[in-house]
Every structure is written in C-alpha cells, then in structure tokens.
Structure 1
C-alpha cells in the first residue's frame, strides 16, 4: 500500500484560514487584525464622515440638531472620568466645539478609525475644539489605559461616571457626535469613518468661529 507523504500543501485553504483566525482569537489579536483590514478600507476614502454644510447650521440651527428640546445642551448633567481618575462634567466643555466619539477596545471599527481621529485631533486648536473619546468598555479603566498607552494616543479619553445621556444612545459602535459651542448636536455618524478630511476640518473650524 502506498502511503501519501504529509504536506502542508494538501491542507485545504479553509482549514488554514480557520486555524489562523483561531490563533488570533485565542491570543486576543483578532480585534487588531480585523481593525487593520478596516483601516485599509478607510484609507481608500470610501467611508468619509458626513457633515452638513456650515452655512446650513449657521442659518438654521435646528436643521441638523439631535438635541432634546429645552435641554441646556446635549449631555447636560453627564459626568465622565478621565484616565487619571479625575471626574469631568460634560457641561464644562460648553463654549467649545465637541468631537465626541463613543468606542470600545473590543470593537474593530473603533480601532480602525482611531489613527485618523488622532491625526485630526493634533490639527485642531484645543482651546476651540474639545475631543471626548468616550470608552464604553466594561471591567474598569485598566484595560482602556493599557490600550491607549500602547497605541501612544494623546487625545482625551474618558469613561462614563453617571447615567448615559439619552441623546448619545446609538444602535452602532463607534458613533461620533459633533456638538456646537452652544451645545447642539449638529452632526452624527454611526459606524466607522475617515474624519481627518478637508470637509470635517473646515466644518469644525467653521463652528468654532
């Protein structure tokens, strides 16, 4: 009887693929791997963030607002805690444009869009535009801090320290809100997107004037 020699070439492709994803999953690297693939897709420009025309917001403040009627500002009363353990009132940011991104370390699309958000952050004036990278991870701050330190991101990162505001609820993660200096939500993006674009930069700077 002829015995066939074992060769890796004889292993079906689906088995190899399954094995690779199994290893990635067991080592916790599957989120990073998927995020890298999605990051490549973002780099093609097929998923740029949608923002309204600045003239539309200026002339008709109610045209693109998601803020509850009568509320002093979106997120009024909401409290957050930063990675140093300091509690911050969301209302303390009123008067600036707020770029609010809701994310988690286990979310590949969140990881995919973070580099371009960080790139945008470094181009904005912190006295005019406040970035709030709001993690919804469960299980404490340690995991989030470890992730941010590993990536070398310098934008402000927070976790909820009070009940989540209804106006920030979304069916998707990540979700990004842009809030005007007077506290109105003027743009909302569900799902990952490319934010470091000419349109978004001009929109943020136009709101900040």
Structure 2
C-alpha cells in the first residue's frame, strides 16, 4: 500500500488522467460535457444542402409521411406541416452525444419557439419513454416531447443517435446530420432564417 501511495505521489499527473478517464467512462453527464466542449469548437457542425441536386435523397414529388405523438396523444404528420420549416431531432436519454447537444437544441428552441413558421419535433427513442421525460425534467429542458407513432422513414433516421433533419417549407430535406452538433451557432440560425424567408 505504501508503494502505491509513493507511486501516485511521483506520478500524480498520470493518476489524475486515469481518474478523469474513469469518470468519463462511467458518468454520462461527464461524457456529455466533454462532447459539448468539442462541439462548441465548430468541428462537428452540420452542413445544409446548398442545391436541389445535392438533395437527391428522394424526388421532389415524393411525400414522406412520418407521424409522431405528443404527450397529450395528438398525432402530428410531417406531410401536414408544408409551409413550415421542420426541425426533427431523434434522441435518447441514455445517449451521451444526445445529452451533449441538447443544451444547444434548447437554446435554438428558445430563440424560435414563438415563430409560427417553424416546428420542433424532438423525437424520443428510449425503450421506456418515461426515462426521456424524466431526463428533460431533471435538466430543465422545455423542448416538445414526442415519440414515433409508427415506422420512421429511412430517409429521416437510419439508426444513429443523435440524428437531426431539417425540412424546408416544401417538405424537402435541407439538412441531415448523424451525430453530435451544436445548434446554438449564429451560422446555423442564419441558415434557418434563410429557410424561413423562402
């Protein structure tokens, strides 16, 4: 035991790094904090589609129907949201990258929630939706809580969490991003404002 104490004293920096590594492995919020720091650099920022040709996930005529259910039981279908910009985020409470980006989604929501031309569909994919509700309440997030109301189209979600999709007013995908991103950046708001003006 004495040898261990001496080794720790001599190698305090390595001991500190090992301790930090262990905390990051075990604690979801610590992982989320670290990921949030990386995301804030802009390295992981999502990119909007610049032209219709690049946005060839599906044809302009195709009408992708995706329904979600609100907490009060109301069903919302994306095909009924034409004329609005739609921000869709697929997340789960157990997912560290989801936790890392959620403060930026909350900031984005706070900035635009009173705009009648934008709809937020923050879709929880926890096996037990109550865990998602508890997470939002514990963190003080006020974004809408929705769950899928049937199959999720592959064009929107292929299994990676988090995934974010932004639809323009015609229902076309203008952003499809898998993984962590920072949605509280001015550059992101500028793109949203452009879509809202169209």
Q: Normalized against structure 1, the TM-score is what?
A: 0.78
**8 Å Cα contact 2:46/2:175 also seen in 1:** no
- 1:63 alignment partner in structure 2: 54
Residue segments in structure 2 that go unaligned for 5+ positions in a row: 9-13
Q: Do the aligned partners of 1:180 and 1:207 also contact (CA within 8 Å) in 2?
A: yes
Are the structure 2 counterparts of residues 62 and 176 from structure 1 closer, same or farther at C-alpha, using a change threshold of 3 Å? same
1:194 and 2:182 aligned = yes
Give the distance between the partners of 2:148 and 2:6, measured in 1 at CA.
51
Distance 1:102 1:159 in 2: 9
User: 2:104 is matched with which residue?
Assistant: 116
Report if aligned partners of 1:129, 1:208 keep a CA contact under 8 Å in 2: yes
Larger Rg: 1
* Structure 1 range deviating more: 144-153 or 44-53: 44-53
Q: Unaligned stretches of 5+ in structure 1? A: none
C-alpha displacement of 1:8: 4.5
Runs of 4+ in 1 over 6 A off after TM superposition: none
Find the aligned partners of 2:35 and 2:108 in 1 and give their Cα distance: 18
Identify which of 87, 90, 96 aligns with 1:99: 87
Alignment length (residue pairs): 191
CA distance change for structure 1 residues 121 and 15 in 2, over 3 Å: closer, same or farther?
closer
Using the size of structure 2 for normalisation, the TM-score is 0.82
